[in-house]
Amino acid sequence: TLQQLREKLFNIDGKGYKAYKNIAGQYQGENFKLYIDYVQGDPFASPSRVRLCVAQQTALFPVDSYSTRIRNTALTDFLNRQAVKAIEKSAKGSRGTGKSGMIAVDKPGQQILSRTAVAINNDFVELRASIGLPARGRRVLGKQAAAMFLDELPQIIDNCLLYNSLPQHSLWEHIYSVEDQEHLRASLADKGLVAFVGNGSILPRKSGVSDRPLSIDKAVSFKSPALLEITLELPHAGKVTGMGFTNGVTLITGGGYHGKSTLLQAIQKGIYNHIPGDGREKVVSLPSAVKIRAEDGRRVERVDISPFINNLPYGLNTKNFSSEDASGSTSQAANIMEALEIQSELLLLDEDTSATNFMIRDVRMQQLVTKNKEPITPFIDKVRLLVNQLEVSTVLVVGGSGDYLDVADTVIMMDEYYPLDVTRTAKDIAARIKTGRNDEGGTVFGSIPSRIVDAKSINPQKGKKRKISARGVTSLQFGVYTIDLSQVEQLVDISQTQAIGDIIVYMSKNYLNGTTLAKALERVYQDIERYGLDIISPFYGQHPGDYALPRLYEVAAAINRLRSLRIRG
């Protein structure tokens, strides 16, 4: 029982820190069970890991608050946020050296992601927390530790794991909002849409470093042009009206600073569900949407980029292109081909982050630099083949080249943050003023890569230890390598980055044997769907660590950027 833990802690008071090691184990509290799964080695080391588990007979969550996958994600996210608040309220904080006194759980941001921080099922609800066992210098502070376990933790539990003590109105609002967003996203394909932006949405963010909404008094809320307006039905909120982005090629144009990139960025994040009040609760896009950008300097390992790049100097082979330091255009080509390899159905491009020579090649350049001297087939000449042959749509921001008017199905012009449908005018202009370009795209798009990874080339060992550690959202230490994810724009949470590392290992252990990368990833995600995200943890069955679910596209992006990666062939 917890009383026994208390006695243990009193007994080791004043002893060396290592004495904490024997408190590992499980203890029965009044209304919860405490599992101390891991005890840290010293007050500065990564904190101890505990689970707080309340039986459903006590927690009393109604079955329909967690019974479907999406409700489970929504509810556990809500409880996670409550836990953050409860800890702020009840934990005393620092109680000595290093991390002494700390109580922490994973902290969600604007997106609602499936996480390991809270688990709920018919039997129990469980919070996975980190604790800094208190010490002065390296001496155990047993009484303080007892206060953390016997006073603070029970209070925290009372404030976040018991259904009847929670703000039920906001709990259900949270669940319904997520369910609506999921439904909206799932209904896109049937309606022939690739994205939807609801009227009234707030797209701009507070700043380049904050994902919170720009305040209402500064933001222009979204309003669809009448011609593109569509009304959809949601299970809870009823009718929602907004702009539908249809299959095909959508061009977002308009003057500089009129909100083009902001709209595209909202669509980029439309793969995620957002918390109520975020402003993007009615912005959704196809789950497989991938932002494509130039990324010079990245590594590329044996990718077929021949649909876009051919006849490089020195006869470099582009059906099997590798580079330790790719150029703007070759990196952008590789990013597209890698997205197609794992079946993305929607590419998102912005001129701000694209290589100009990858996007356009106008008639004068076609005459000056003849086709046999230019390795690049520009995107403009492949974008229709993507739609017509592969059913891959594109939404792209181009303010600087009218050549794209020829290939767009829909042209939107941003005008002081309001989108206008200018498709008719654009088509008239395109008919009146011919570009005179030659289409260099040929009659077929070209082949899509299907690569088999050499499992040995994926190794998280560093010396004798396995080292997988997210250094931030955009940097993942993997063995002796650091994977740079700073250009992988749809990654949003450090716990996703951490999960990517362990998913890569899980995949290479279980599924890489001779299967293609795409197939192996698919299998991993089937496992996660079936057994939960805990399955990727080396500590499965205990506190698994703090993970949030990334998409397989971001996992693939990390693999593709790992500098030790070898592709078989």
Write out the residues near ligand ADP by the rule CB under 6 A.
Answer: 203-204, 214, 218-220, 254, 256-262, 414, 417
Contacts of 91 (CB under 8 A, 6+ apart): 101, 102, 103, 148, 152, 156
Q: What are phi and psi of 399, to 5 degrees?
A: -105, -15
User: Is there a contact between 78 and 159 (Cβ–Cβ < 8 Å)?
Assistant: no
- What is the three-class DSSP state of 386? helix
Nearer to Mg ion, 76 or 261 (CB): 261
Q: Kindly tell me the burial class for residue 344, based on how many C-beta atoms sit within 10 Å of its own C-beta (0-12, 13-18, 19 or more).
A: buried
Q: In whole angstroms, what is the distance from residue 556 CA to residue 3 CA? A: 48
Of residues 322 and 402, the one with the C-beta less far from Mg ion: 402
Give which of Mg ion, ligand ADP, none residue 262 binds (C-beta under 5 to 8 Å, depending on kind): ligand ADP
Taking the complex as a whole, the smallest distance from the CB of residue 334 to ligand ADP amounts, in Å, to 25
Q: Which two tokens stand for residue 153?
A: 């933790």
- Taking the least distance from each CB to ligand ADP, the nearer of 204 and 446 is 204
For residues 79 and 118, the answer to whether their CB atoms sit within 8 Å is yes
- What are the distances in angstroms from CA 208 to CA 214, 290, 490? 11, 20, 15
CB of 225 to ligand ADP, least distance (A): 14
Query: From the CB of 109, what's the least distance to Mg ion, in Å?
Result: 23
Sign of the Cα torsion 70, 75, 81, 87 reads negative
Binding partner selected for residue 479 from ligand ADP, Mg ion, none, CB under the kind-specific 5 to 8 Å limit: none
Is the CB of residue 164 less than 8 Å from the CB of residue 60? yes
Smaller CB distance to ligand ADP: residue 235 or 400? 400
Q: 55: closest CA among 29, 23, 91?
A: 29
Residue 348 CB, shortest distance to ligand ADP, in Å, is: 13
CA distances in angstroms from 153 to 87, 121, 127, 465, listed in the order given = 9, 21, 11, 33
Q: Cα 220 from chain centroid?
A: 26
441 binds, among ligand ADP, Mg ion, none (CB under 5 to 8 A by kind): none
SS3 category, 162: coil
Cβ atoms of 36 and 148 within 8 Å: the answer is no
Who contacts 468 (Cβ-Cβ below 8 Å, separation ≥6)? 460, 476, 477, 478, 479, 498, 501, 502, 505
Residue 339 to residue 111: CA distance in whole angstroms = 23
Helix (H, G, I), strand (E, B) or coil at 362: coil
Choose from Mg ion, ligand ADP, none: what does 149 bind? Cβ within 5-8 Å by kind. Answer: none
C-beta closer to ligand ADP: residue 238 or 256:
256
Nearer to Mg ion, 181 or 261 (CB): 261
Closest-CA residue to 482 (of 455, 500, 509, 456): 500
Q: Give the nearest distance from C-beta 217 to ligand ADP in angstroms.
A: 10
Q: Which is nearer to ligand ADP, 131 or 266 (CB)?
A: 266
Q: Which is nearer to Mg ion, 115 or 260 (CB)?
A: 260
> Which residues lie near Mg ion (CB under 5 A)?
260-261, 352
259 vs 501 by CB, closer to ligand ADP: 259
Query: Cβ neighbours of residue 61 under 8 Å, at least 6 residues apart?
Result: 75, 120, 125, 163
417 or 547: whose CB is closer to ligand ADP?
A: 417
CB of 283 to ligand ADP, least distance (A): 12
CB of 554 to Mg ion, least distance (A): 23
DSSP state of 509: H
The option from Mg ion, ligand ADP, none interacting with 256 (CB < 5 to 8 A, set by class) reads ligand ADP
Minimum gap (Å) between residue 484 Cβ and ligand ADP: 24
As measured in angstroms, the least distance from the Cβ of 262 to ligand ADP is 3
Q: How far is the CB of 395 from Mg ion (least distance, A)?
A: 13
Find the shortest distance in angstroms from Cβ 219 to ligand ADP: 4
Angle made by CA atoms 467, 470, 471, in degrees to the nearest 5: 110
Burial (CB < 10 A; 0-12, 13-18, 19+), residue 377, is: buried
Residue 78 or residue 222: which is nearer to Mg ion going by CB?
Answer: 222
> Shortest Cβ contact with Mg ion: which residue?
261
